[in-house]
């Protein structure tokens, strides 16, 4: 199920949207201000963000900028500000869509589904992060143009971490993405073992990793920017 970050300070509207989204098989996290939204983005992985613009401690534009520094997460602005300048600003900052209030929930969900359909068709061939290049369709990894053999499990871990570069990926998310989809039970120690193997292959100093950092008590983070090509 896709995870949606909904940033909306109107409690009644947020509740109605949550019910509608859940009925369409989306998981929803609600934040009511900029600070809590940034906290959620830092510690969790989402598939889309829906942002109100006028918030108690700032604007949805700030959250959009924060997201764009980290990832290509799809963003829909949801606002009562219908002036052309507001719409243009939201889209120019990196928003994928802009919906003005009042709106029909069915239209919002249709636009969300349309964005996800486009993304599902878009096939990134490579992820490049500094001197590391990862070919998604070939299970191929290079560092400084030198081929590095990797296992299927290492491939899945790299795909998850690099697709969410500079965002903390929790152990629970790793277990679900790498192992649970195959319906296999696995001990958390398997994560540490595989991370150690990957670090031995890509880090200049595996004893003091700088690319894949451990976030104590939470999980791991790919500590570099990634370019999708």
Residues 6 or more apart whose Cβ sits within 8 Å of residue 190: 179
State residue 109's pLDDT score: 94
Distance CA 63, CA 66 (A): 5
Tens digit of each residue's pLDDT (9 = 90 or more) over 165-190? 999 999 888 888 877 644 455 566 78
- Look at residue 134 and give its three-state secondary structure: strand
| List of domains in the chain | 3-121 (3.40.50.2300), 126-228 (1.10.10.10)
Q: Tell which residue, 120, 26, 111, has the closest CA to residue 75.
A: 111
pTM, full prediction: 0.64
Position 136 pLDDT exceeds 90: no
Q: Is the Cβ–Cβ distance between 215 and 174 less than 8 Å?
A: no
In terms of DSSP H, where are the helices of the chain?
11-23, 34-43, 60-68, 84-92, 105-121, 152-163, 171-174, 189-202
């Amino acid at each position: 199920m896709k995870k949606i970050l909904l940033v909306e300070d109107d409690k009644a509207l947020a509740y109605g949207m949550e019910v509608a989204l859940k009925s369409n098989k989306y998981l929803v996290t609600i934040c009511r201000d900029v600070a809590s939204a940034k906290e959620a983005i830092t510690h969790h992985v989402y598939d889309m963000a829906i942002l109100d613009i006028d918030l108690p401690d700032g604007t949805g534009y700030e959250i959009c900028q924060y997201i764009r520094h980290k990832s290509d997460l799809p963003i829909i602005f949801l606002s009562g500000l219908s002036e052309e300048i507001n719409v243009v600003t939201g889209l120019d900052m990196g928003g994928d869509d802009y919906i003005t209030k009042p709106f029909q929930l069915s239209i919002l969900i249709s636009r969300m589904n349309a964005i996800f359909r486009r993304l599902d068709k878009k096939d990134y061939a490579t992820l490049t992060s500094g001197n590391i290049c990862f070919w998604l369709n070939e299970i191929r990894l290079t560092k400084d143009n030198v081929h590095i053999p990797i296992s299927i499990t290492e491939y899945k871990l790299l795909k998850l971490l690099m697709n969410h570069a500079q965002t903390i990926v929790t152990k629970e998310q790793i277990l679900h993405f790498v192992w649970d989809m195959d319906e296999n039970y696995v001990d958390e120690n398997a994560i540490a073992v595989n991370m150690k193997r990957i670090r031995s292959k890509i880090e200049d100093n595996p004893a003091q990793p700088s690319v894949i950092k451990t976030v104590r008590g939470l999980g791991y983070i790919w500590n570099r920017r990634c370019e999708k090509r």
